Amino acid sequence: MAVGWHRPTKLVIDTQAIKENVWNEVKRMPQGSELFAVVKANGYGHGAVQTAKAAILGGATGFCVAILDEAIELREAGITEPILILSIVDVSYIDVLLKYDLSVTVATQEWLEQAIDRLNHIETQGPLKIHIKVDTGMGRIGFTTPKTVKQAVELAQSTQLVVWEGLFTHFSTADEKDVSYFEKQTQRFQAVLSALFELPKYVHVSNSATALWHPDNVGNMIRFGIAMYGLNPSGHMLPEVYPLKPALSLVSQLIHVKELAAGEGIGYGNTYTTTENEWIGTIPIGYADGWLRHLQGFSVLVNGQKCEIVGRICMDQCMIRLPEKVSVGTTVTLVGHDHGADITLQMVADKLETIHYEVACTFSDRMPREYK
């Protein structure tokens, strides 16, 4: 996808905010613990490489990604810290894992057996670093019983072709007030730990929510994701333990301003009609950029004043109702701070009836990322 460097719409990423969010969490962690920054999905839409570099300055000692290609991107950008791929990687790519010195998730005995067999037949030097995933109630990937985890550990320890580097699980309700299911998952993971005679270098259960609201849980490493970008993992449900600094702003400019008489239709489907003489401004952003059609009726900021989006959002443009005539070229803040007013990703998410994770990840690569 072509990046729109020659139009005024852009995402502005505050790398100092990312650094401070990481540092504030590192200060809370027990001595000997490590923070791995989660930079999957292009750093939750913020930019993986730049986010990773800021996280290192804040004290991150490693990284988590979702897929192999995301890990390769970090390595080719000069990131040398440990990288864990959280999803399953096909065994046919083991030589690539070894080439880039990557750690990989093991979720089944069959995968581990196939991996060892392949390691026996390739020339690339090992060993392969593995983290065994325990499914304590997420229902996604991983071993489900202490017995099967123990069998996988025994197989890993029976060969020099792999190194059992980590053991982990993922909590599905750590960001909720009701802790009953969280405690159930915790008990299941404790049962796994009790069944093992030794533990690997890394034991990690803490995503952002667990790190913030359940800091006394087991483990010596946390996977710091959404909170690193300054966003509350629970949305509105739980208060922040310390101030999180949002790192992302979305800004554009007015490219066209006109006055329309009463009774004029705006946009596809004629879903908005002026009720009096109205000043209408056009912004060069649309649903192809991730500024979705359901945001009709939402507001953006112009000179600190809220201006409603009128008419359906188009693929590349949208229209807003201005309080008065405003000059072409005036800044429009779609997410961020402007003259004492704010629009947050959470507010956008509320309008879309979703979560801010999804909003940030929906912003397309057509919008350039500018780093402060």
The β-bridge relationship of strands 341-343 and 331-338 is antiparallel
Active-site annotation holder among 184, 258, 268, 325: 268
Look up tokens 């100092």; give the residue. 16
> Is 315 labelled a binding residue?
yes
Q: Is 347 annotated as a binding residue?
A: no
Distances (CA, A) of 364 to 1, 271, 287, 369: 9, 26, 9, 10
Residue whose entry in the numeric block shows the structure tokens 């026996």: 120
Asked if residue 217 lies in contact with residue 206, where contact means CB atoms within 8 angstroms, the answer is yes
* 268 is known as an active-site residue: yes
Catalytic residue, chosen from 40, 53, 129, 133, is 40
Examine the residue annotation and report whether 40 is marked as an active-site residue of this protein: yes
Listed as own residue / partner, the contacts of 191-200 with beta carbons closer than 8 Å and 24 or more positions apart are 191/146, 192/134, 192/136, 192/146, 192/149, 192/167, 193/167, 193/218, 194/146, 195/146, 195/147, 195/149, 195/150, 196/149, 196/150, 196/153, 196/167, 199/167, 200/131, 200/132, 200/164, 200/165, 200/166, 200/167
Mind telling me the catalytic residues? 40, 268
Binding-site annotation, residues: 140, 315
Binding-site annotation, residues for substrate: 140, 315
